[in-house]
C-alpha cells in the first residue's frame, strides 16, 4: 500500500475568541490559494483510485476538499483517528482496515511526523520537518506495521507548487 501524507495548509492562528474550539479553525485565504497550487503538483503523483481520509478538524477537511477537487478524486472521508493529538497506533489500525492500494491521510503536526517516524523505524525516533501543505509518500510492501515502511518521497509545498 502507498500512503500519502498531507499536512493541512496554512490556517489562521489560534484565537480563543474567534474559535473557542480549535478544531473549528479554518484555512486562511492565502493557505487555500497556495495549497490549490500545491495540489496541482501533488495530483501528478496520486493514482486515480486513491481513498482520501481526513481529520475532522476544519483546516484539514478544507485541505482535503481542495485536493480532491483539483485532483478529481472521490469525496474525502472524515476520520476521527486523524484528529490532532491522536496516537500513531490509531493510524496504523485505520490503514490496516483499508482495502486499497493507495490512501491519502490529511492531518496535523506532530501527528504526521510522529506516525511517519514510527512507520519508518519502529524503535527509533526520526526527526521530520513537515511543512504546512507539504506531502510525503510511504510504501508498505507487506504488513502495515511500525518499522515496515519505505520513504518514497517527501516534498515541501514550494516544490509541489513548482510542479503544476
pLDDT along the chain (164 residues), means of 10: 98 95 96 98 95 98 98 96 88 93 96 95 89 97 96 97 88
* Residue 62 confidence (pLDDT): 98
* Residue 40 confidence (pLDDT): 97
Spell out where 8-157 has E strands. Answer: 51-54, 77-78, 102-107, 135-140, 149-155
* Residue 44 confidence (pLDDT): 95
Question: Is 126 in contact with 117 (CB distance < 8 Å)?
Answer: yes
Question: Is 100 in contact with 112 (CB distance < 8 Å)?
Answer: no
Structural domain boundaries in the chain: 2-162
Nearest Cα neighbor of 110 from 125, 92, 91, 128 is 128
Tell me the CATH architecture of domain 2-162.
Answer: 3-Layer(aba) Sandwich (3.40)
User: Could you tell me the pTM of the whole model?
Assistant: 0.96
* Residue 88 confidence (pLDDT): 85
Residue bearing cell 514550494: 158
* Residue 85 confidence (pLDDT): 85
* Residue 87 confidence (pLDDT): 85
Amino acid at each position: 500500500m502507498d500512503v500519502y501524507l498531507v499536512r493541512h495548509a496554512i490556517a489562521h492562528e489560534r484565537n480563543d475568541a474567534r474559535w473557542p474550539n480549535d478544531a473549528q479553525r479554518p484555512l486562511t485565504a492565502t493557505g487555500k490559494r497556495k495549497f490549490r497550487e500545491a495540489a496541482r503538483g501533488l495530483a501528478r503523483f496520486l493514482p486515480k483510485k486513491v481513498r482520501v481520509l481526513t481529520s475532522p478538524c476544519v483546516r484539514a477537511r478544507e485541505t482535503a476538499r481542495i485536493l480532491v477537487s483539483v485532483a478529481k478524486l472521490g469525496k474525502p472521508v472524515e476520520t476521527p483517528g486523524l484528529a490532532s493529538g491522536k496516537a500513531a497506533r490509531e493510524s496504523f489500525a485505520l490503514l490496516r482496515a483499508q482495502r486499497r492500494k493507495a490512501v491519502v491521510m490529511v492531518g496535523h503536526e506532530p501527528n504526521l511526523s510522529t506516525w511517519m517516524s514510527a512507520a519508518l523505524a519502529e524503535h527509533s525516533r526520526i526527526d521530520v520537518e513537515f511543512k504546512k501543505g507539504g506531502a510525503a509518500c510511504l510504501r508498505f510492501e507487506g504488513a502495515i506495521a511500525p518499522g515496515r515502511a519505505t520513504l518514497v518521497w517527501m516534498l515541501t509545498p514550494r516544490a509541489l507548487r513548482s510542479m503544476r
